[in-house]
Amino acid sequence: MEHSFISIKKFVEEPYSKILGYPNATSRQIKSRINELEELNIKSISLRGPTTLGKLAILGKGYVGVVVVAKKNNKEIALKIRRTDSQRKEMKNEAVLLKIVNSVNVGPKIFDVSKNFLVMEYLEGEKFSDWMDSLKGSGSAKKLKHTIRNILEDCYRLDQIGFDHGEISNISKHIIVGENKATLIDFESSSTQRKPSNVTSITQAFFIGSGIAKKAQKIYKNASKEQIINVLKIYKQEKTRENFEKLLKVLKL
């Protein structure tokens, strides 16, 4: 299906202006943001996605940004728009962090950044929790294992470069599962200063915490929590490939 795109010129007015300046902005701020978009070569926005802002469909909303599909040089991209009430004064820092994770093939590809906008790869798919809830029938275990393995490998590469995602335990929100790949998103709270605990945090969320672990256990029977915790301890002491493989083995991945 062809999606319809709305010219950014229309975003000076309600209801569209709410998207560019959420939760509230003056018309001067909105106009300045439209200029900023023009400089980024973004001329239109497509209102679609699983969430809504007022009555408009969008990709998502967090405490920092509102995310929509937009077009840049005829290509669909995801545009993260800084909320006017965000703690962050600009989007640059998140762009720097995204570049670091992109260097080990993690996260959506970053294309451009300005004070109030982040231009990145548009990930088609579902949030992990929705995706997992819709898994059924034969092949479910294989699909789930494949996705978890994919994400654990990403986390391992982040651990290796000393990068901590920070909000990984909130996996239901921070993994988008598409046709061919699953991708970690939202590196806004990440750090290169903290000790990285990506693999440990995500393993806990997948297999030890309550919500997702319980559902996963129904799809395929896993090792005991004690066994998982033991092998995690070994990995935590020495984050080697060998210890990571031991973990994968216990997790039957």
Ligand X SMILES: Nc1ncnc2c1ncn2[C@@H]1O[C@H](COP(=O)(O)OP(=O)(O)O)[C@@H](O)[C@H]1O
CB atoms within 10 A of CB 252: 12
Binding mask 154-193 for ligand X (x = CB under 6 A): -------------------x--x--------xx-x-----
In this complex, which beta carbon is closest to ligand X, that of residue 21 or of residue 108?
Answer: 108
Contact (CB, 8 A) for 108 and 65: no
- The verdict on 170 binding Mg ion (CB under 5 A) reads no
Please identify, using beta-carbon distances, which residue of 82 and 155 lies nearer to ligand X.
82
- Of 29, 31, 62, 213, the one binding Mg ion (CB under 5 A) is 62
Nearest to 147 by CA among 215, 76, 225, 210: 215
Which residues inside 125-164 make contact with Mg ion, applying CB under 5 A? none
- Which residues touch 81 (CB under 8 Å, ≥6 apart)? 19, 20, 22, 33, 65, 66, 67, 68, 116, 117
From 186, 190, 199, 216, residue interacting with Mg ion (rule: CB under 5 A)? 186
Span from 63-71, 142-150, 203-211, 224-232 in contact with ligand X (CB under 6 A): 63-71
**For ligand X, which residue of 65, 71, 144, 204 counts as binding (CB under 6 A)?**
65
Integer CA distances (angstroms), 6 to 3, 17, 29, 32, in order = 10, 12, 20, 18
Give the residue with the Cβ less far from Mg ion, 62 or 209: 62
| By the rule CB under 5 A, 189 interacts with Mg ion | no
Which residues lie closer than 8 Å to 156 by C-beta, 6 or more apart?
Answer: 198, 199, 239, 241, 244
Q: Which run of H or E residues covers position 127? A: strand 126-127
Minimum distance of Mg ion from residue 177's CB (angstroms): 16
Let me know: does 163 contact 199? Beta carbons within 8 Å.
Answer: no
Applying CB under 6 A, the residues found at the interface with ligand X are 59-65, 67, 78, 80, 108, 120-123, 127, 173, 176, 185-186, 188
Applying CB under 5 A, the residues found at the interface with Mg ion are 62, 186
